[in-house]
Amino acid sequence: MKKRMLSALSLLMAVLMLTSCGSSGSPTEGEEGGSSAGAEGGPSKTVNIAISENCITLDPHNANNQGSLIVSDCVYEPLIQTDNEGGYYPWLATDWEYDETGTVWTFHLRDDVRFNNGEALTSADVVCTYQRLIDEYDSLCRAVELFPDHLLQSVEAPDEHTVVITLARPYSVALFSFAKTMIIPKSVYEAEGADMFYQQNLVATGPWKLEEWVDGQYAHYTKNEDYWNPNYDSYYEELYVRHVLESSTAVAGHLSGDLNANLTTGGINPDMLALYNGSEDRIEIIPVEVFSYYYMGFQCGEDSPFADINVRKAFECAIDRQSILDSIMGGGVVCKSVIPKGVLGYDENLPDYEYDPELAKEYLAKSSYNGEEIVLSSNTSTAKAEEQLLAISGMLNEVGFNTSVSIVENATLLDMRTTGDYDVFMVITMHGGGDPGSIMNMRIVQDAHSSDFVDEELNNYILSGLQTIDADERAEYYKKAAERLREVSAPHTALYSPYANYAIDYGVVGLDLYKDGMLDVTFVDYDPDATTFRGPDYAALSSF
Amino acid sequence: MLKYIGKRLLQTLLVLFIVSIFAFALIHMAGGNPALLLLPDGASDEAIKAMEHELGLDQPLYIQYIQYMIGVFQGDLGMSTAYKIPVADIIAERLPYSIKLTMGTVLVGCSLCIPLGIIAGSNRGKPVDFFAMFFALLGNSMSAVWLAVLNVFVFSVWLGWLPSMGAESFSNIILPALTLGYPMAAEITRVGRSGMIDTLSEDYITATYAKGISRRVVNWKYAFKNALIPIITLVGMSIGSYLAGAVVVETVFAWPGIGQLTNQAVGNRDYQLVQSLLLVSAALFTLINLVVDIINSLVDPRVSLE
Amino acid sequence: MDEKILEIEDLVVEYKTERATVHALNGVDLSLSKGESLGLVGESGAGKTTTALSILNLLPEASAVIKSGDIRYHGKSVFRMNDKELQSMRGGKISMIFQNPLTALNPVFTVGEQIAVVLRVHQGMSRKAASERAKELLEMVGIAGYRIKDYPHQFSGGMRQRVGIAAGLACNPEVLIADEPTTALDVTIQAQILELMKELQTKYDTSLLMITHNLGIISELCQKVAVMYAGRIIEYGTVREVFKHPMHPYTAGLLNALPKLEGPRERLVAIPGRVADPQDLPDGCRFHPRCEGCQARCKEEIPPMVRVNDDHYVACFGAKEGI
C-alpha cells in the first residue's frame, strides 16, 4: 500500500510539472519577441521594448506610475497631443478655445475617429470620460494629479462633435492636463464600469490593440489596422512592452537580441553603459538632456538649524555639484535654480550655483549652527542616492558641518516629508510638460513637505504665474520666483540635471523620450535609412 | 492516514491564524501610508484623507483586521491598493509561476545531485568524490545575485543559447531553475554523500553484500533508500523557502513569481496584498511540510505518523 | 565426509588506521569438511569476526590488508575470485548470520524482501515465487508467514535473528557461518534459536562454522572446536577431546572459568592478566604473559600446531595433559 502511495505521489508531481510547463503565459509559444523574422527577410515585425517599471493597472485614469502610463498610452488617446515641452497639437480634437476667464474650454472633435470595436467617437464619450473624473475624483489618482483640488467642475456636449469643459478656476497648465487625459468609450464603460480595465477589454481609439497584459512580464499589442490617423502606419505589427526591473537583465536582454530598446526610467545607470561597448554598430546610446533635476529640501522650522539663512547659504555653496555630476552621475548640467533649462521660466542669466568652500565656512561661522547632527535623507528608488549623499556629506563635513546619510524606503520618506520629520532630503523631480507652476505651487506655496518655510514674495510670484494664461507673462513670473528662491535659499536648493541615457537599436524610431523624463512608445516605427535616433514628429502626425 | 491529515490541517488553520496577526501587525508597524504612495507628490491633505477613506484606512486598526479576516474566511483575500483589483486574482495569476520555478528547481537540484551524492558517497576518496565536493563547495559559496547575473551573461548574451528574461515558453525556465537549483544541488550532494557514507558503514550493508548482491545494486537499491531519507527532509524545507523567497532570481530574470510581488507589495504598503501573500506562503509551507512528513513515513517505515 | 570444502591457510590480516596497525589475524589455520559443524571460540578481539568476514572476502577495503595466507573454497582461492564468482558464492554457497540482529537487517525494506532477494539472485526465482518461498522460510523459522510484509522494527531481537537465519538458509548453502548469533539475545530465546539451528542443520546437512565465546553452545551444537587467541588457533579438535582434556593453558582456563552447577561452591576462576592487545602483541607465544607454565622458549618463539592425536591438536610448548 505504501509503495503504491509513493509512486502515485511521484506520478502526480511529474504530471503537474509537465502540464504546468506547457500552459504558461503567451499562447504563441516560441514567439520570444524579435526572433521571428519579417516576411521578406527584413527585420522582425515584432518589436520588444524594455521599461524598468511594472504596470499595475490598465486604467488610464488611475495609473500613478510610469509603467502603467506607458502601457495604457499605447491604446488610449487624448483630445490633444503634446511633446511635453509646451507644444500642443490637434488630435481627437481639431481645435480648441477658451473664454476670457480661462475657465471654459471648448473642443471640436474630429468626425472620422473610430474605436477599435468599430464604434464612432462622439462627444458623449468625452463627456463620459471627464464626468468620471469628476464623479470619482477621490479615488482616481490621475484625476487628483492632473486636476488638483477638484479643478474640473463640469462637462457638457452641445452637439455630437463639440465638448465644453468648465474648470473651477483658471489653470495655466490646463492644456497639459487635457493632453494627458485619455478618452474612454461610453458604451463599454456604462456596461462594465471599471471592470473593463481589469478584464483587459481595452476598447480605444489608438494605433495599437492590447492582446494581453501579463502582470510582471509584458504587455502585448497588435497593430490596429483600422486606425483613424493615416499619418502613422507602423512597420511593426506586434509590440511587446516588457517590464524588466533589473537593469543588468535589461542590458543583457538587449545585447542578446531579446530586446530592441532599453528604456530605463531616468536613464540607464551610467555604470551599466559600459556593457554596451562593442555593440555600437547595432545599438545607439542616446543621451537626453532631461529637465528633471535633483534637489534638496530643507526643514526650516524653528528648531531646525536651517531656520537660519546663513546655514542654508553655507550648505549650498559647500557642494561641488559639477564634480558629483562628472564622477557619479555620468555627466549632465549644473542647475541654476529649481527651473532647469527647457522649462518655462528658465532664466539663463541667473548665475550657476557656486562652489566655494571658503565662503561656506564664512557663512557657517556667522551662523547659529552649533555642530548639531544633520541627517541627509533619501529613498531607495532615487538612483545613486547613497553615492551622491555620501559625497555631499563629505563635502559638507569639510567646511564644518556634522552630517550623516540615511537612505530609507519610499514609503518611509513619503511619511517623513509629509509630516516634516527630516533635516534635509534629496530627491529627483521633474516639471511635467515643461511648466513648473503646479509643482512649485504644491511644494512651495502649499508646502506639501511641511518645511515650515514661508516667503510672501516667493508665493506671490508663483501664484500669479499659475493664474496667467499667457505663456510669456507666465514665464516672467516664474523667473522672478526662481530668482527669489535663490535669494532666500529656501525651501529648496537645486543640484543638477544629469543626462538620461537610453539604448535603442539603430532603425527603431518614434519612441518619445520626453525631455521631462517621461516615456511614450506609442509611435514606434522602423526606418532602415535612419542613421540616428529620432522621436515622433507630432506636427507631421497631426497635420491633415 | 486520513485522520492524521485532518489533524494536521486543523493545526495548519491555527498556524495561519497566528500568521495573519503577525502579518497584519508587522506591515502596519512599518509605517508609511499607501494613500500617499498612490497620490502624486504634494497632494493636498483633503485628497489624502479622501483616498484614505476610499481605501478603508480611516477605520480603527482592529476593525480593519476583523474585516479582512472575515473576508478571508469567505474566500476574499482583500483588495490591492496598488493594482485596484482583488488580491486573490493577483495571487492566482502569479503563484503558478512560483510553483513552476520551484518545481523546476527541485527537478534540477535532485536530478543532478542525488546521483552525484550517492556516487560520491560510495566512492569516497576517489576522483569523483573530490569533484562532487568541489561542486558542492562552489554552490555553497556563490551568492545568488552573482550566479544569476553570471548565468544571464554567459548563457544569454555570450552564448545566446537561452532567453534572458520572461516566462513565456519552456526555455525561459531553464536559467532561473539552474540559478536557484545549483545551491540546492550543492546541499543535496553534501547531504546525499554523507548519508551514503553513513549508510554504507552499517552492518546491514555488509550483510547485504554477504548475500551476494552486486555493488551496483547495493548502492542504488539498498543503500540508496536509506541515504534518501535526509535528502527528502532537506528538499522539503528548501521548497518552502524557494516558493516564497526566490526574490533575487525572480527579479534578475523578470520571472513573475510571488517573491518579487511580495517585495513590491511591501514597498507599496499594499496592506491586504502583503497580508494575503504571507498567509498564502505560510499555508503552502505548512502544506509542503505535511507532504514531506507523509513521504517520509512512506519511505522510512520506522517513522509513524502520530 | 572428510572432504574439506573450506580451508584457511596461515592467514595474516592487518587493519591499518592512521594511528596504529591492528594485527587481527596472525597465521590462522582452519578447515571445514562437508556436513561438519565447527565451533570457533575465543574472547572478544581474538579475531573471530575477522576470520568470518575473510571467508566471504568482505573485509573493509579501506583499512584491511591481507598480508599473507589464503582461504580456499573447494580449492579456489577466495581472494582471487572475480566479482561474479564472489557474488555467486556469497549467500548462495556460503551464508553468514550476523551478530547483532538489531543492525543486521535493513530498516527500510520488508523482511520478506530481505529474504526473497537471496532467492531471486541465486535461484533466479521470479518475484512472486521468491515471495512465496520467503513465506515458507519464515514459517520454517517459526514466524507467521503473512509477516513477510512487515519491517524489521516490528520484530523483537529474537525474531529478527530468525529472519537472519531464514535468509541465511534460503538457498541451502553448503556452509553457514554464524557469527555469535545468540550473543545479543536472552537465554530463553537463545535456547530456541539453537534448537532451530540444530534442526535445520540436520535437515539440510549444512556445514556450520559457529563463532561464539560461549562454550556451552559449542558443546550443544558442534562436533569440532577451534580455540582462538590473539589471531591464532591455539587448540583444535573434537569437542569431546578438547573439552575433556584441554591441553593449552588458555583453553583450560576458559573451561575452568565456567561456573559449575554441581560440586562445591568455589570462587570463579579467572585467567590472570588481560587479553592480548592486537595493536601491541607480545613476542613469541601471545599468551605467555598470562601463562603459569611460561618458559624461556615461550617468550621468543611462536609455538606451532602439534598433533596430540587424531582428534586433537595444540599449539603450546608446555602442553601437558590436564593442566
For C75-116, the DSSP string reads TEEGGG--HHHHHHHBTTTEEEE-S-TTTSS-TTS-HHHHHH
pTM of the model: 0.77
Phi, psi for C8 (deg, rounded to 5): -110, 125
Chain C: give the shortest CA distance to residue B301, in Å.
6
ipTM of the complex: 0.86
CB A92 within 8 A of CB A109: yes
Amino acid at A14: A
CA dihedral B222, B227, B230, B231 (to 10 degrees): -100
Nearest CA in chain B to C82: B214
pLDDT digits (tens, 9 = 90+) for A196-248: 888 888 999 999 999 999 888 899 999 999 999 999 999 999 999 999 988 88
CATH 3.90.76.10 residue ranges for chain A: 80-192
The whole-number pLDDT of residue C322 equals: 45
Among B residues 187-246, those touching chain A with beta carbons less than 8 Å apart:
none
**Minimum-distance CB partner of A249 among B34, B54, B152:** B152
Taking an 8 Å cut-off on Cβ atoms, the answer to whether B100 and A20 are in contact is yes
**Minimum-distance CB partner of C117 among B211, B215, B225:** B211
Region for residue C211 given its phi and psi (left: phi exceeds 0; alpha: psi -120 to 50; beta: otherwise) = beta
Instruction: Return the percentage of chain A with pLDDT > 90, whole number.
Output: 55
User: Which of A5, A258, A442 would you mutate first to test chain B, the one with the most B CBs within 10 A?
Assistant: A258
- Select from B170, B98, B162, B157 the least CA-distant residue to A26: B170
Nearest CA in chain A to B264: A54
- Does B240 or A511 have the greater pLDDT score? A511
Query: Does residue A149 sit at the B interface (CB-CB below 8 Å)?
Result: yes
> What is chain B's percent helix, strand, coil content, to nearest 5?
75, 0, 20
Amino acid at C229: Y
Taking an 8 Å cut-off on Cβ atoms, the answer to whether A215 and B260 are in contact is no
* Mean pLDDT score of chain C: 86
- Mean of the pLDDT values across residues B270-282? 91
Taking an 8 Å cut-off on Cβ atoms, the answer to whether C107 and B211 are in contact is no
Chain B partners within 8 Å of C108 (Cβ):
225-226, 229, 299-302
- Select from C246, C252, C190 the least CA-distant residue to C221: C190
Chain B: give the shortest CA distance to residue A415, in Å.
5
Domains of chain B as residue ranges with CATH? 2-73 (no CATH), 87-299 (1.10.3720.10)
Dist CA C254 CA A298 (whole Å): 99
pLDDT digits (tens, 9 = 90+) for A312-342: 999 999 999 999 988 888 888 898 888 888 8
Taking an 8 Å cut-off on Cβ atoms, the answer to whether C108 and B301 are in contact is yes
* Mean pLDDT score of chain B: 86
The whole-number pLDDT of residue C126 equals: 92
**Minimum-distance CB partner of C87 among B212, B222, B229:** B212
Taking an 8 Å cut-off on Cβ atoms, the answer to whether B202 and C103 are in contact is yes
Chain B partners within 8 Å of A25 (Cβ):
166-169
Amino acid at B273: L
Residue A467 DSSP one-character state: H
Whether A13 shows a pLDDT value over 90: the answer reads: no
Query: Does residue A21 sit at the B interface (CB-CB below 8 Å)?
Result: yes
Cell numbers at residue C313, please? 591438536
The whole-number pLDDT of residue A375 equals: 95
Phi, psi for B12 (deg, rounded to 5): -60, -45
Cell numbers at residue A19, please? 502540464
Taking an 8 Å cut-off on Cβ atoms, the answer to whether A253 and B268 are in contact is no
Among C residues 67-126, those touching chain B with beta carbons less than 8 Å apart:
83, 86-92, 95-96, 98, 100, 103-110, 117-118, 121-122
* Domain A2-72+206-288+500-541, CATH: 3.40.190.10
Residue A138 DSSP one-character state: G
What secondary structure does DSSP assign to C242-266, as a single string? HHHS--SHHHHHHHHHSPPSSSS--
Chain B partners within 8 Å of C57 (Cβ):
none
- Select from A63, A107, A55, A87 the least CA-distant residue to A213: A55
Q: How many CB pairs under 8 A join B and C?
A: 77
The whole-number pLDDT of residue A215 equals: 85
pLDDT digits (tens, 9 = 90+) for A136-195: 988 888 898 899 889 999 999 999 999 999 999 888 889 999 999 999 999 999 999 888
CB B205 within 8 A of CB B222: yes
Instruction: Return the percentage of chain C with pLDDT > 70, whole number.
Output: 97
Class of domain A293-498: alpha beta
Dist CA A529 CA A534 (whole Å): 12
Supply angle C-alpha C193, C198, C199, rounded to 5: 95
Cell numbers at residue C24, please? 587481527
Count Cβ neighbours within 10 Å for each residue of A133-163 and write b for 16 or more, e otherwise. Answer: bbeebbbbbbbbbbbbebbbeebebeeebeb
Phi, psi for A85 (deg, rounded to 5): -120, 15
Query: Does residue C167 sit at the B interface (CB-CB below 8 Å)?
Result: yes
Dist CA A284 CA A275 (whole Å): 13
Cell numbers at residue B122, please? 560510495
Whether C227 shows a pLDDT value over 60: the answer reads: yes
> What is the three-state SS of C120-174?
HHHHCCCHHHHHHHHHHHHHHCCCCHHHHHCCHHHCCHHHHHHHHHHHHHCCCCC
CATH 3.40.190.10 residue ranges for chain A: 2-72+206-288+500-541
Determine the 3-state secondary structure of C284 from DSSP: coil
Taking an 8 Å cut-off on Cβ atoms, the answer to whether A242 and B50 are in contact is no
Class of domain A80-192: alpha beta
CATH 3.10.105.10 residue ranges for chain A: 293-498
For β-strands C4-16 and C64-73, DSSP reports them as antiparallel
Chain B partners within 8 Å of C122 (Cβ):
212
Query: Does residue A412 sit at the B interface (CB-CB below 8 Å)?
Result: yes
Dist CA C180 CA C97 (whole Å): 8
